[in-house]
Copies of this chain bind each other. A is one copy, B any other.
Amino acid sequence: MKHPITTLLLSTSLATSLAGMAAANDLRDMAREYFEPLPSTIPSVKDNPITPEKIDLGKALFFDPRLSASGVFSCYSCHNLTTGGDDNLETSIGHGWQKGPRNSPTVLNAVLNEAQFWDGRAEDLKAQAKGPIQAGVEMANTPETVIETLNSMPQYGEWFTAAFPEESAPVTFDNMAKALEAYQATLITPAPFDAFLNGNDDALSAEAQEGLQLFVDKGCVACHSGVNVGGHGYYPFGLIEKPGAEVLPPDDKGRFAVTETVDDEYVFRASPLRNVSVTAPYFHSGKVWDLKVAVQIMAESQLGEELSDAEADSLVAFLDSLTGTLPEVTVPVLPAETATTPRPTAEIIR
Q: Smallest Cβ distance from A107 to chain B, in angstroms?
A: 12
* Contact residues in B for A337 (Cβ distance below 8 Å): 88, 280, 289
Please tell me if the beta carbons of A290 and B333 are within 8 angstroms of each other in the complex: no
Given contacts A70-B93, A71-B87, contact A280 B336 (CB under 8 A): yes
Question: Given A88-B65, A88-B337, A97-B97, A82 and B344 touching (CB < 8 A)?
Answer: no
Q: Is A81 an interface residue (CB 8 A)?
A: yes
Specify which of B65, B82, B87, B343 is in contact with A80 (CB 8 Å cutoff): B65
Check: A272 CB closer than 8 A to any chain B CB. no
Closest Cβ neighbor of A84 among chain B residues? B336
**Most B CB atoms within 10 A — which of A77, A82, A346?**
A82
Known: A82-B64, A330-B330. A336 touches B89 (CB 8 A): no
A88 touches B66 (CB 8 A): yes
**Within the complex, which residue of B63, B277, B289 is in contact with A343, where a contact is CB–CB below 8 Å?**
B289
A96 to B96, CA, bound (A): 8
CB distance from A313 to the nearest CB of B (A): 14
| Residue A72 interfacial (CB < 8 Å) | yes
List chain B residues, Cβ under 8 A from A277. Answer: 336
A333–B339 CB distance below 8 A: no
CB distance from A159 to the nearest CB of B (A): 14
A322, chain B: closest CB distance, angstroms = 13
Say yes or no: is A169 at the interface (Cβ < 8 Å to chain B).
Answer: no
Q: List the B side residues contacting A71 at CB < 8 Å.
A: 87-89
Which residue from chain B places its CB closest to the CB of A290 in the assembled complex? B339
Q: Do B70 and A332 touch across chains, with their CB atoms under 8 A apart?
A: no
Question: Interface majority SS on A: helix, strand, loop or mixed?
Answer: loop
Chain A, interface size category, equals 35 or more
Taken together as a complex, chains A and B put the C-alpha atoms of A332 and B64 apart, in Å, by 18
CA distance A87 to B64 in the complex (A): 11
Is A328's beta carbon under 8 Å from chain B?
yes
Separation of A293 and B128 alpha carbons in the complex (Å) = 40
Once the chains bind, are A329 and B330 in contact (CB under 8 Å)?
A: yes
Shortest A183–chain B CB gap in Å is: 13
Report Cα–Cα, A117/B183, bound state, in Å: 36
Which residue of chain B has the shortest Cβ distance to A333 in the bound complex?
Answer: B326
Contact of A82 among B89, B93, B331 (CB under 8 A): B331
Q: Which residue of B has the minimal Cβ distance to A332?
A: B82
Beyond A60-B82, A329-B331, list 14 extra A-B contacts (CB 8 Å): A65-B80, A65-B83, A66-B83, A70-B93, A81-B331, A88-B337, A96-B97, A97-B97, A97-B346, A99-B346, A279-B336, A289-B343, A329-B330, A330-B330
A-B contact list, 26 entries, CB within 8 Å? A64-B82, A66-B83, A66-B88, A71-B88, A71-B89, A72-B89, A72-B93, A82-B331, A82-B332, A82-B333, A82-B334, A83-B334, A84-B336, A88-B344, A89-B344, A93-B346, A96-B97, A97-B97, A97-B346, A277-B336, A278-B336, A280-B336, A289-B339, A289-B343, A330-B330, A330-B331
Q: Which 7 A-B pairs have the closest CB atoms?
A: A97-B97, A278-B336, A329-B331, A82-B334, A63-B82, A81-B331, A72-B93
